[in-house]
């Protein structure tokens, strides 16, 4: 298996360079019929679940996220202590499935890139169920996002962030960018590092593929296990340095990539 990609883009707007080098030469696949049934099941979950999640809020988004994983035949495992409400969850980033897994495991608002807002159906629903969108192409908008995240933390709602800013699908990873760690400092909220791991590189989101292409590839994987492993919470002091906090959080990750769940 070859090494992972090195992130490209600018300091504020990193971009993934994940490609087929990140994937193994072979993997176990289900039959084409079963893969098709999974995709059809996923469409059904979205058609029913998205409107309910928007209308009902509460536990509905969590149920929807669990339905998405179940439709695709993905097993979700949790390791470590469950974070208390009002925690900033910071995780490595491999796939669009990362956010779904965190939403399935915990009541959480997810910080997503602004592009997600334009995804048909999913973008508008994500906004209505409380997702926070960040536009890394506009650094001047970051303070507003920091304020919004801090407000959620103070209100007792956990927020999930992917500080690398893009996906990495090999053993290498990106540096945790410190901006949103300021939210935890301002809100006096715990920071919980969460390692996300898969037992197949097929879950990795490749830079040049569409969401639909990734969904079809994931649906073909015979057995896919997604593991979330929480490290002990970090509790920043008032006035803490967000850069130091970001480095501490990244060094606390207990694994990640596509080997942890094996």
* Domains of the chain and CATH, by start: 14-251 (3.40.1130)
pLDDT digits (tens, 9 = 90+) for 23-75: 655 568 999 999 999 999 999 998 888 888 777 777 888 898 999 999 999 99
pTM of the model: 0.85
Highest mean pLDDT among 15-19, 144-148, 199-203: 144-148
- 142-154 pLDDT, tens per residue? 899 999 999 999 9
pLDDT of residue 147: 96
Contact between 193 and 234 under an 8 Å Cβ cutoff? The reply is yes
Q: Residue 122 to residues 12, 75, 118: CA-CA distances in angstroms? A: 25, 22, 8
**pLDDT at 4 exceeding the cut of 70:** no
Cα–Cα nearest to 256, from 198, 175, 200, 177: 198
Tokens standing for 136?
A: 């890394």
């Amino acid at each position: 298996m070859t090494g992972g990609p090195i992130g490209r883009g600018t300091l504020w707007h990193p971009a993934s360079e994940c490609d087929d080098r990140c994937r193994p030469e072979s993997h176990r696949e289900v039959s084409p019929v079963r893969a098709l049934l999974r995709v059809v099941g996923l469409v059904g979950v979205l058609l029913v679940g998205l409107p309910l999640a928007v209308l009902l809020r509460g536990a509905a988004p969590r149920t929807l996220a669990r339905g998405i994983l179940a439709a695709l035949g993905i097993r979700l495992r949790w390791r470590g202590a469950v974070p208390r409400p009002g925690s900033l969850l910071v995780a490595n980033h491999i796939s669009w499935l990362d956010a779904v897994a965190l939403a399935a495991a915990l009541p959480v608002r997810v910080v997503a890139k602004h592009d997600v807002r334009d995804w048909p159906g999913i973008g508008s629903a994500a906004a209505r169920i409380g997702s926070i969108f960040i536009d890394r192409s506009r650094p001047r908008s970051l303070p507003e996002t920091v304020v919004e995240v801090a407000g959620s933390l103070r209100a007792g709602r956990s927020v999930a962030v992917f500080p690398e800013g893009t996906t990495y699908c090999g053993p290498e990873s990106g540096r945790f960018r410190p901006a949103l760690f300021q939210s935890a400092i301002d809100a006096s909220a715990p920071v919980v590092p969460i390692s996300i791991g898969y037992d197949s590189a097929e879950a990795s989101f490749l830079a040049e593929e569409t969401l639909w292409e990734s969904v079809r590839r994931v649906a073909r994987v015979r057995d896919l296990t997604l593991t979330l492993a929480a490290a002990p919470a970090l509790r920043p002091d008032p006035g803490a340095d967000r850069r130091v906090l970001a480095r501490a959080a990244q060094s606390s990750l207990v694994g990640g990539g596509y080997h942890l769940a094996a």
